[in-house]
Amino acid sequence: MTLTGQKPTLKSDKYVFIKTYGCQMNVYDSDRMFELLQPLSYKKTNNPDHADLIILNTCHIREKATEKVFSELGRLKKLKLSALKKNRKVLIGVAGCVAQAEGEEILERARYVDLVFGPQTYHRLPEMVNKALKMDLSLVAGSQIIETEFATEQKFDELSTDSISPTNSFLTIQEGCDKFCSFCVVPYTRGAEISRPAGQVLEEAGKLVKSGLKEITLLGQNVNAYHGVSSDGKEWTLGRLIRELAELDGLERIRYTTSHPKDMDDDLISAHGEVPKLMPYLHLPVQSGSNTILKNMNRKHNITFYRSIIDKLRKAREDIAFSSDFIVGYPGETDADFAETLRLVSDIEFAQAYSFKYSARPGTPASGKVEVGEQIKSDRLESLQQLLNAQQLAFNLKKVGTVQNVLVEKHGRKQGQLVGKTPYMQAAHFCGNEKLIGSIQKVRILDGFSKGVSGDIVNNDKVYDIQKPAKIESKEIYS
Ligand code: 5AD
Ligand code: SF4
């Protein structure tokens, strides 16, 4: 592990290391944990060896999550022991969905753990840490404090609004899920759907924009099921919330993730055509192209419906790019079912996608069903990924010759290189001054790759070695 965080200088400095697994929601939660710990004088370190508090923010969505956590905890036990020998006390915490689902087991099997807390209770982290610090820390045995009950909107009230990135930020507006797809642990680990009040979201977004942020991604396990109460007592849908957010001066880009096809209502779809700040990119998981499998998965939509949503969105915003999630080898999936998935992918042409082999999650309705053979799952995953990768490359190459607005996010790996995002979520690489980080620049796309595009800032005097000039069209498309 590299040390990019600050090194402790004074004995009184306290450092926290958080290792984040899984989804954007966990990344967001880890950022909030850092902020909650600041009043307790904890600073961030990227080196667990220097930390006084180590938190594993875990994910339970796919296979072997629990075992991964236990093997990481085994390493942390050694670290805690060797710190104690040097008279340094280290607290160990397990947060997130594994903590929620297996909290008792963690405390049972790893007695040196101090804190176990689920995604709904991390706003109480300062309280828990203070309580643990009052206990006898000279022992390897942990304080064993556990908080895993499901909370309510109260959690949202107690979170601060600082953003970690200077350019874009996630903003959680909704948590939990009531859909109960038969393969998924989220309804059990994150609890029932709750939406954050609309006024609170607008206020937080306002603060983020004031701090100079140009892009906000609205976050939720089922973000388009949003139904936050506004000050007039009415419930706002996501479409309404987006339209209101778009009024914020200084906010240039709005995104949202993750959506369920069933909750793509007409107002949200038309917002894609009517709100220029809403970016032309949508992650809309479908999971399978077979109606039989979708039914068995309890997805609550069929393929005709999914296609109709895609068509409506393309009518509303012609250039919208789509991403999706797929599961291959769900119990009972036949070759013919899988062929339907390939057919759907071929027809829709995704700009990006995530695909996984089905893995049984304990406690979900699908677990215990007769599984598809491992080799079949691997073969299907490979052919699906081949197709999806080819589509991603084709999508990126299609943008060659166009000029895209790129939100500049950070330095690239190469000297003088910057990286940003096009409206379509493509990573765009180009050369430029680091002062451009945080701004939106027009970049002429000169090449496309499987993972992104590269180009040149428009009006930049520097001439680059254009490898494939034949591909550049004269037409410039501003988006
Ligand atoms: N097996 C495989 N993939 C899963 N996902 C969720 N649960 C499982 C599982 N049991 C995938 C789905 C979901 C994404 C976040 O993770 O595709 O959309
Ligand atoms: Fe899981 Fe389905 Fe809810 Fe998505 S919609 S979080 S896959 S239960």
pLDDT digits (tens, 9 = 90+) for 90-126: 999 999 989 988 888 898 899 999 999 988 888 889 9
Cα-based angle 371, 374, 375 (whole degrees, multiple of 5)? 135
pLDDT recorded at residue 241? 97
Rounded to a whole number of angstroms, the distance between the first and last alpha carbons of the chain is 40
Q: Whose alpha carbon is nearest atom 2 of ligand 2?
A: 181
Cα separations (Å) of 182 from 118, 263, 372? Answer: 22, 18, 16
Task: Specify the ligand 2 atom closest to the Cα of 299.
Answer: 2
pLDDT in tens, 46-69: 999 999 999 999 988 877 778 889
Query: How many residues make up the chain in this entry?
Result: 479
For residue 111, which phi and psi values (nearest 5 degrees)?
-70, -10
- Residue intervals in the chain for CATH 3.40.50.12160: 14-150
472 has a pLDDT exceeding 70: no
453 has a pLDDT exceeding 80: yes
pLDDT recorded at residue 26? 87
Question: CATH for 399-478?
Answer: 2.40.50.140
182 has a pLDDT exceeding 70: yes
128 has a pLDDT exceeding 70: yes
Nearest ligand to the C-alpha atom of residue 259: 2
Strands 14-20 and 42-44, sheet pairing: parallel
Rounded Cα distance between 348 and 479, Å, is 22
User: Does residue 186 line the site of ligand 2, with CB under 6 A?
Assistant: yes
User: Does residue 455 line the site of ligand 2, with CB under 6 A?
Assistant: no
Question: CATH for 153-397?
Answer: 3.80.30.20
Q: Which alpha helices (H) appear in 258-365, and where do they start and end?
A: 266-274, 291-296, 303-316, 335-348
Q: What is the mean pLDDT of residues 311-320?
A: 98
Fold of 14-150: Rossmann fold (3.40.50)
pLDDT recorded at residue 325? 96
pLDDT recorded at residue 102? 87
- Residue intervals in the chain for CATH 3.80.30.20: 153-397
For the four alpha carbons of 82, 2, 68 and 16, in that order, the dihedral sign comes to: positive
Q: What is the mean pLDDT of residues 397-423?
A: 95
Q: How far is the CA of 180 from the centre of ligand 2 (A)?
A: 6
User: Does residue 222 line the site of ligand 2, with CB under 6 A?
Assistant: yes
User: Does residue 287 line the site of ligand 1, with CB under 6 A?
Assistant: yes
For residue 23, which phi and psi values (nearest 5 degrees)?
-85, 175
2 has a pLDDT exceeding 50: no
Task: Specify the ligand 1 atom closest to the Cα of 364.
Answer: 10
Nearest ligand to the C-alpha atom of residue 177: 2
pLDDT recorded at residue 232? 85
Q: How far is the CA of 186 from the centre of ligand 2 (A)?
A: 6
Task: Specify the ligand 1 atom closest to the Cα of 354.
Answer: 17
User: Does residue 327 line the site of ligand 1, with CB under 6 A?
Assistant: yes
pLDDT in tens, 249-305: 999 999 999 999 999 999 999 999 999 999 999 999 999 999 999 999 999 999 999
For the four alpha carbons of 452, 453, 459 and 461, in that order, the dihedral sign comes to: positive
pLDDT recorded at residue 6? 43
Tokens of 418: 């910057």
312 has a pLDDT exceeding 50: yes
Average pLDDT across the chain, whole number: 88
Tokens of 7: 């090194």
- Residue intervals in the chain for CATH 2.40.50.140: 399-478
User: Does residue 184 line the site of ligand 1, with CB under 6 A?
Assistant: yes
208 has a pLDDT exceeding 80: yes
Q: How far is the CA of 119 from the centre of ligand 1 (A)?
A: 18
Cα-based angle 100, 30, 221 (whole degrees, multiple of 5)? 60
User: Does residue 184 line the site of ligand 2, with CB under 6 A?
Assistant: yes
Q: Whose alpha carbon is nearest atom 1 of ligand 2?
A: 184
User: Does residue 223 line the site of ligand 2, with CB under 6 A?
Assistant: no
Q: How far is the CA of 299 from the centre of ligand 2 (A)?
A: 8
463 has a pLDDT exceeding 70: no
**Three-state SS for 401?**
coil
Residue of 409, 20, 259 lying closest to 452 (CA atoms): 409
Task: Specify the ligand 1 atom closest to the Cα of 183.
Answer: 10
pLDDT higher for 26 or 198? 198
pLDDT recorded at residue 476? 34
User: Does residue 216 line the site of ligand 2, with CB under 6 A?
Assistant: no
pLDDT in tens, 3-48: 334 443 344 679 999 999 988 888 888 988 998 998 889 999 999 9
User: Does residue 324 line the site of ligand 2, with CB under 6 A?
Assistant: no
How confident is residue 150, by pLDDT bands cut at 50, 70 and 90?
Answer: low
Residues near 421 by beta carbon (within 8 Å), at least 6 away in sequence: 168, 215, 406, 407, 409, 427, 428
pLDDT in tens, 373-396: 999 999 999 999 999 999 999 999
Q: How far is the CA of 409 from the centre of ligand 1 (A)?
A: 29
Q: What is the mean pLDDT of residues 340-348?
A: 98
How confident is residue 157, by pLDDT bands cut at 50, 70 and 90?
Answer: low
pLDDT recorded at residue 60? 86
pLDDT recorded at residue 4? 38
pLDDT higher for 245 or 61? 245
Strands 115-117 and 14-20, sheet pairing: unpaired
User: Does residue 260 line the site of ligand 2, with CB under 6 A?
Assistant: yes
User: Does residue 181 line the site of ligand 2, with CB under 6 A?
Assistant: yes
Task: Specify the ligand 2 atom closest to the Cα of 61.
Answer: 1
Q: How far is the CA of 180 from the centre of ligand 1 (A)?
A: 12
Rounded Cα distance between 9 and 2, Å, is 18
pLDDT recorded at residue 154? 61
pLDDT recorded at residue 478? 34
